[in-house]
Structure 1
Amino acid sequence: MRIQVTRDGGAAGGEHRAALDTEGRPDAPHIHALAREVLSSGTRTVTFGVPGGFHYAITVDGRGTVHCTEPQLTDGQRDLIALVLTQGR
């Protein structure tokens, strides 16, 4: 599974992209469960949160993109976003 996260907004307004491939990872089942949760909890339309907050676009295997914003992130969204942005390329 390939998961891509794009973060934009924030105080500086910059964009950060990262992608994570779960193939061969021992934690892949956990990541897949997070991805399924995020796909079901996000919205398909771009939304905007609070001024200065981040907006995230999450794409799983190129099957469509869901959007979420701070501070309304679920725990699953927060965990998946953090994982991809810290360990992805």
Structure 2
Amino acid sequence: MLIVITRTGGFAGRERTGSADTHCRPDGAELERLAERALSAEAPSAGRPVADGFFYSVHIDGKVIELRDPDLTDEQRRLIEAVLGEGA
């Protein structure tokens, strides 16, 4: 499974992209589980955008979901952290 995440927004407005091929990682099975849950999760009710908040474009094997802080599920946050290599 190929997972590509692009983060935009934030205070500096810088874009960051990370990717993970689950077949090449020791935590691949866990990432696949998180990705499947992230895709199937109901979108939280959209509140007001947060100033300097992050927006995420998550591409998982041809499917795309758009997410934003602070409206992330725990699985979505863990997936983002694992693929981008930092806290979401």
Q: TM-score, normalised by structure 1?
A: 0.82
Alpha-carbon displacement from aligned partner over 1:14-65 (angstroms, at most 9, x marks no partner):
100011111143322211110001111266xxxx83121000010011x221
Q: In structure 1, what is the equivalent of residue 71 of structure 2? A: 72
Distance 1:71 1:84, change over 3 A: same
Q: In structure 2, what is the equivalent of residue 55 of structure 1? A: 55
Q: Percent identity?
A: 40
Q: TM-score, normalised by structure 2?
A: 0.83
Structure 1 unmatched runs, 5+: none
Q: In structure 2, what is the equivalent of residue 32 of structure 1? A: 32
The one-letter code matched in structure 1 to 2:15 is E
- The answer to whether the 8 Å contact 1:42/1:66 transfers is no
Count of residues in correspondence between the two structures: 82
Structure 2 unmatched runs, 5+: none
Q: CA RMSD in A?
A: 1.8
